[in-house]
């Protein structure tokens, strides 16, 4: 009997449809939490510790692009679209720190979970939007990058001086604004849909019309059912989020108004990958020209071939 597939995920509110897929729709895989985010899942995929990852678009594309530039195989490709809406990254500092806005961040220490994670990548995007990346320092952030691994350590870091600021998803951060632990100084939205599904190369099948193995196909269909359950059972979703995750009931309800999951998670739009590559190249995250199409294990145009 083949070993059960392993899915890496971030244990935040966005994971609720995955929970429903597992509890209500016989998800043929085990769920392994990665609270430190997408960068950690990249490492786990490449180490063979997980087979599938559900994480942030910018983290996956950055890792795939860097592997291309180094003429290496990243070990995985993008096979699905999980969330259609962009992500709002809140920018936070310590409760007592004398930093009052984004304009004061140049030259400061930026806390990130891991180099290559979404929190790292979006720092470069912020710097580009602020005009801090000139042609003479392409790929070099105008602040020191301080890896702190987890959200809890990031919050501690901006209060004890290890870092001056960090970026994390808005609703995940909000509870800690409300209790006074950290202070919000700004926000930035991703210019792309926020969450994608990737799979290890072993789950891709060039001989299959849908480009993936039957095992991966079954996982993606179960996630589709989890999304449909989420949309049809909003009260159950709210209760799960505020009971099992680190959110208030009010914040869970507010988040539901902002998020839109993919109606069919199978496949990725090439245009989204191209947009992400374009922005990450401009921001200096990707230093060489890379081919967005080569990052896709399955395009949405191929998903319609499934029976």
Checking if the pLDDT of 153 tops 90, the result is yes
Q: How far, in Å, CA of 162 to CA of 148, rounded?
A: 9
DSSP string covering the chain: -PPPEEEEE--SGGGHHHHHHHHHS--SEEEEE-TT-HHHHHHHHHTTS-SEEEEEHHHHHHHHHHHHHTT---SEEEEEEEE-S--EEEEEEETT----SGGG-TTSEEEESSTTSHHHHHHHHHHHHTT---GGGTT--SSEEEE--SHHHHHHHHHHTS-SEEEEEHHHHHHHHHTTSEEEEEEEE-SS--EEEEEEGGGB-TTSTTSB-HHHHHHHHHHHHHHHHHHH-HHHHHHHHHHHSS--HHHHHHHHTT--B-SS-BSB-HHHHHHHHHHHHHTTSS-S---GGGGBSSBHHHHTT--
pLDDT of residue 242: 95
What average pLDDT does range 152-157 have in this prediction? 97
Residues 6 or more apart whose Cβ sits within 8 Å of residue 93: 99, 158, 164, 165, 182, 183, 185
pLDDT-wise least confident of 108-117, 165-174, 232-241: 108-117
Per-residue pLDDT tens over the stretch 80-104: 999 999 999 999 999 999 998 999 9
Q: Report the chain's mean pLDDT, rounded to a whole number.
A: 92
pLDDT of residue 137: 46
Task: Give the whole-number percent of the chain exceeding pLDDT 90.
Answer: 80
| pLDDT band with cut points at 50, 70 and 90 for residue 301 | confident
| pLDDT band with cut points at 50, 70 and 90 for residue 50 | very high
Under a CB-based contact definition with an 8 Å cutoff, are residues 262 and 84 in contact?
yes
Checking if the pLDDT of 296 tops 90, the result is yes
| pLDDT band with cut points at 50, 70 and 90 for residue 255 | very high
Domains detected in the chain: 5-86+193-303 (3.40.190.10), 88-189 (3.40.190.10)
Residues 6 or more apart whose Cβ sits within 8 Å of residue 304: none
pTM of the model: 0.90
Checking if the pLDDT of 248 tops 90, the result is yes
Checking if the pLDDT of 210 tops 80, the result is no
| pLDDT band with cut points at 50, 70 and 90 for residue 235 | very high
Residues 6 or more apart whose Cβ sits within 8 Å of residue 34: 8, 9, 10, 11, 40, 41, 44, 55
Checking if the pLDDT of 299 tops 70, the result is yes
pLDDT of residue 2: 59
Tokens representing 169 are 């998803």
At residue 200's C-alpha, the angle toward residues 3 and 26, to 5°, is 45
């Amino acid at each position: 009997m083949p070993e059960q597939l392993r899915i890496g995920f971030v244990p935040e509110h966005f994971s609720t449809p995955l929970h429903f897929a597992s509890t209500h729709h016989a998800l043929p895989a085990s769920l392994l939490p990665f609270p430190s985010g997408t960068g950690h899942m990249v490492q786990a995929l490449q180490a063979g510790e997980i087979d599938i990852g559900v994480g942030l678009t910018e983290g996956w594309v950055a890792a795939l692009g860097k592997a291309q530039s180094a003429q290496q195989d990243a070990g995985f490709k993008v096979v699905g679209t999980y969330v259609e809406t962009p992500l709002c990254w809140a920018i936070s500092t310590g409760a007592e720190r004398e930093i009052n806005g984004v304009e004061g961040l140049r030259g400061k220490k930026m806390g990130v979970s891991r180099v290559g994670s979404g929190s790292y990548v979006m720092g470069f995007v912020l710097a580009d939007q602020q005009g801090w990346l000139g042609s003479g320092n392409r790929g070099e952030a105008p602040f020191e990058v301080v890896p702190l691994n987890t959200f809890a350590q990031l919050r501690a870091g901006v209060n004890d001086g290890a870092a001056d600021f960090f970026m994390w998803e808005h609703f995940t951060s909000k509870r800690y604004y409300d209790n006074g632990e950290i202070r919000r100084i700004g926000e930035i939205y991703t210019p792309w849909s926020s969450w994608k599904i990737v799979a290890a190369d072993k789950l891709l099948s060039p001989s299959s019309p849908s480009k993936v193995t039957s095992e991966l196909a079954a996982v993606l269909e179960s996630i589709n059912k989890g999304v449909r359950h989420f949309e049809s059972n909003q009260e159950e979703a709210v209760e799960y989020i505020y009971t099992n995750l680190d959110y208030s009931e009010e914040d869970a309800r507010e988040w539901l108004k902002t998020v839109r999951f993919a109606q069919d998670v199978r496949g990725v739009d090439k245009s989204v990958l191209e947009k992400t590559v374009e922005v990450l190249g401009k921001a200096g995250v990707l230093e060489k020209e890379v081919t967005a199409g080569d990052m896709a294990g399955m395009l949405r145009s191929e998903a319609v071939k499934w029976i």
